[in-house]
Amino acid sequence: MTKASDRAYDAIRAMILSGELAAGDPVREEALAERCGVSRTPIRDALRRLEGDLLIRKTDSQRSFVADWSLDDVGDAFELRAMLEGYAARRAARNMSAEVLEQLRACNAAIAAAISGRKPDVATFLDRNREFHALVLETAGSRRLTNLLTALIEQPVVWRTAHHYDPEAFQRSHSEHGDLLSAFERGDGAWAESIMAGHIRRAFHAYSDAHLGMKAAGRDAA
């Protein structure tokens, strides 16, 4: 933590993820600087990073805007995620250890607890879900893969999708994690890959269904 720069990065990302900064909004360095209580220098640093995360988009003349994602963009992101996280799961199956397996089980148990009640604890679900995927990714043991996926995993749009899940969707997600555990236990990388890819694709369709009504979704999952 280099203090100001990272603080600014976290703060701005949080603003975008929470929707406080809406998609398409212009972003002025000085305004953010004042808001974060730092000078423009660390803000520029943070914006550069956020641009890498594709949360910020810069126009031809370097003006910054909050990136807005069309349904097609989101579809692309999910398809890439499905491919890359599938690959991560395959690699993770090769490297899986008893300890990590136990951690994954604990994680999924926590998820089960969070969604068992009448009112699902969405925040906990999201946290533990992220932890689960992070563990798999870490076990895959490819710094490069982690790097690529980080930009894809924390999408503002996706972030809020789980709030529209119906109870059954939570249950399915939990159950798919269970299948993944079975694949890991058996060291079956190909199986793990299939499950993970399907898991991510299902998440996309959950998102897509939640955001329909505007127009019939015309994407074909190739």
Partner DNA sequence: CTTATCCAAATTGTATACAATACAGAACCT
Partner DNA sequence: AGGTTCTGTATTGTATACAATTTGGATAAG
**Residues near DNA (CB under 7 A):** 2-5, 27-30, 38-42, 44-45, 59-64
> Can residue 122 be called a binding residue for its own copies (CB under 8 A)?
no
Supply 66's token pair: 């909050």
- The torsion of the CA quartet 109, 205, 166, 191, rounded to 10 degrees, works out to -30
- Residue 207 contacts residue 73 (beta carbons within 8 Å): no
From the list its own copies, DNA, none, pick the one residue 34 interacts with, judged by a Cβ distance below 5 to 8 Å according to partner type: none
> Can residue 118 be called a binding residue for its own copies (CB under 8 A)?
no
Burial of 90 by CB count in 10 Å (0-12 exposed, 13-18 middle, 19+ buried)? Answer: buried
From the list its own copies, DNA, none, pick the one residue 222 interacts with, judged by a Cβ distance below 5 to 8 Å according to partner type: its own copies
From the list its own copies, DNA, none, pick the one residue 211 interacts with, judged by a Cβ distance below 5 to 8 Å according to partner type: none
Q: How far apart are CA 102 and CA 32, in angstroms?
A: 43
Q: How far apart are CA 52 and CA 9, in angstroms?
A: 12
Q: Vertex 111, ends 107 and 116: CA angle to 5°?
A: 150
Q: How far is the CB of 209 from its own copies (least distance, A)?
A: 22
Identify which range of 38-46, 124-132, 161-169, 209-217 contacts its own copies by CB under 8 A.
Answer: 38-46
Interface residue list for its own copies (CB under 8 A): 2, 41, 44-45, 48-49, 52, 54, 62, 73, 76-77, 79-80, 83-84, 87, 90, 142-145, 147-148, 151-152, 189, 222
